[in-house]
Amino acid sequence: MKILMIITLALATTLSHELHAAPPTVQPSLNFEKIKHVYTAQKTKQGIKTTISSNLLPDLTSKGINIPKATGTDKTKVLKASDAKKFINGKCVYNIGYHSINIGKVKTGKYKNTLKRNGKLVKKHKNQMLQPEQVKSYKFTIALSEGNNTLQLQLDAGNKVKETKENNNLLTKKFKVVGSCKKLAGKVSR
């Protein structure tokens, strides 16, 4: 038992020198929200190999863009012009929503989300922050043209939040409006 304790202490001392830090101590009031990386060590023939794990970072994602009454495949959703909430300047206006989710282990800093229609910015949500596992819902209206519309949702536009995965912040969804928004605009406004 004494030999095992000596080896463990020697390994901990060697590891602490490898990481340029003091030997580990117990801190009862450790704030885990401030931990950004986990360092792990493995003894190899070449010495001590340390790796950094970033699993203690936030991770923003979304389940997608939702427009009620849209039908069709995941590739392209179809909307009827007659299902529009109202009509503005020859376009159909629909209710729209999306969720922003932090699936990471720590809270995010401030960030913004953007929504573009056919490459043009139509909505921006600024100064957003999420706790771990928190979901925030966004609901608003959007005017879509007859025919094909491509919507792009960018979470953390500007990359202000360092995340576990940076490649799950951009969502693109195609919506096709069938029918004439211009003709319906003259008949009915809801």
Supply the pLDDT for residue 14. 42
Cα–Cα distance for residue pair 173/21, rounded to 1 Å: 48
**Residue 145 token pair:** 């043209």
H/E run at residue 8: helix 2-18
Neighbouring C-beta atoms of residue 121, cutoff 10 Å: 12
pLDDT of residue 12: 41
**2 Cα distance to chain centroid:** 50
- At 27 the pLDDT is 41
The ranges of the chain annotated as CATH 2.60.40.10 are: 60-187
Q: Are 82 and 179 in contact (CB under 8 A)?
A: yes
What is the structure's pLDDT at 115?
97
Output the pLDDT for position 48.
Answer: 72
Structure tokens at 53: 């794990």
What's the rounded Cα separation, in Å, for the pair 16 and 54?
20
Hey, what CATH class is 60-187 in? mainly beta
Which pLDDT belongs to residue 39? 54
Token pair belonging to 102: 């932090």
Structure tokens at 182: 């211009």
What is the chain's pLDDT, residue by residue, as a tens digit (190 residues)? Answer: 433 333 333 334 444 444 444 444 444 444 444 444 455 566 777 777 665 555 689 999 998 999 999 999 888 999 999 999 999 999 999 999 999 999 999 999 999 999 999 999 999 999 899 999 999 999 999 999 999 999 999 999 999 999 999 999 999 999 999 999 988 877 654 4
Contact between residue 113 and residue 138 where contact means Cβ atoms under 8 Å apart: yes
What is residue 69's predicted lDDT score, i.e. its pLDDT? 93
CA proximity to 169, closest of 9, 55, 61: 61
The Cα diameter of the chain in Å comes to 90
Q: Which helix (H) or strand (E) holds 5?
A: helix 2-18
